Amino acid sequence: MGQSLRIEDHQFPKLIAFSRERGIISIDLMSTQLTVRLNAFLRIPPRRRYREMKGQTSKGLRIAILVYTIYSAVYGLVHVVSPELVGAEDPAIERVLGAAVLAFAFGAGLAYLEKSWVKARIAVLVQVVWMILYTITMVWGILVGGIAAAAWPPAIIGAVFAVLLAVLYIREERVNR
């Protein structure tokens, strides 16, 4: 029989007993740190909470993509329908920007509808790159003076989406290796 370890602590409501061959037998803890230590002791690799979700996009990524899609669709529609509302000097260029944003929103919507990470990853990566480039060009335009200072809120929102989507993309890549 294998090596056994028994942990007793008065702070925890139940006794924990496990062995390397059998894994965890009984656990009722409030502390996730101890669970992580047990997993390290047993050499259990980190993975998704539910095995049937392997290869699927996480709930956090899906929510972020949904919010991003809604924001981009509204932003794009405003720029296409009424560029004067956003204070555009050249309405034709603003409509082209709005159409491009609507195209990216459509791609994000397709990524939201797709539950398979393998199928959604390219669309999510395109959104990450777009948000990074959008933020850089907006901030550059504001600082140089070509874009009005009133464009800071969309630039900041773009930066938030760039960071959020990049972090979630990297996390999905690690989990779905």
**pLDDT tens track for 11-38:** 444 444 444 444 444 444 444 555 555 5
With 70 as the cut, is the pLDDT of residue 52 above it? Answer: no
The reply to whether the predicted model has a pTM over 0.75 is: no
For residue 138, CA distances in Å to 85, 87, 107, 134 come to 18, 15, 21, 6
| Cα 160–chain centre separation | 11
More confident residue, 135 or 84: 135
CA distance 110 to 108: 5
With 60 as the cut, is the pLDDT of residue 168 above it? Answer: yes
DSSP-based three-state secondary structure for 6 = strand
pLDDT tens digit sequence for 63-106: 999 999 999 999 999 999 998 888 878 889 999 999 999 999 99
CA distance 139 to 51: 43
Confirm if 110 and 62 have CB atoms less than 8 A apart: no
Residue type, 23: G
More confident residue, 139 or 4: 139
Please enumerate, as own/partner, the contacts of 154-163 that have beta carbons within 8 Å and a separation of 24 or more.
154/75, 157/71, 158/131, 158/134, 159/131, 159/135, 161/64, 161/68, 161/71, 161/127, 161/131, 162/128, 162/131, 162/132, 162/134, 162/135
**Of the listed ranges 50-59, 102-111, 135-144, the one predicted with least confidence:** 50-59
More confident residue, 83 or 160: 160
Q: Is 55 left (phi over 0), alpha (psi -120 to 50) or beta?
A: left
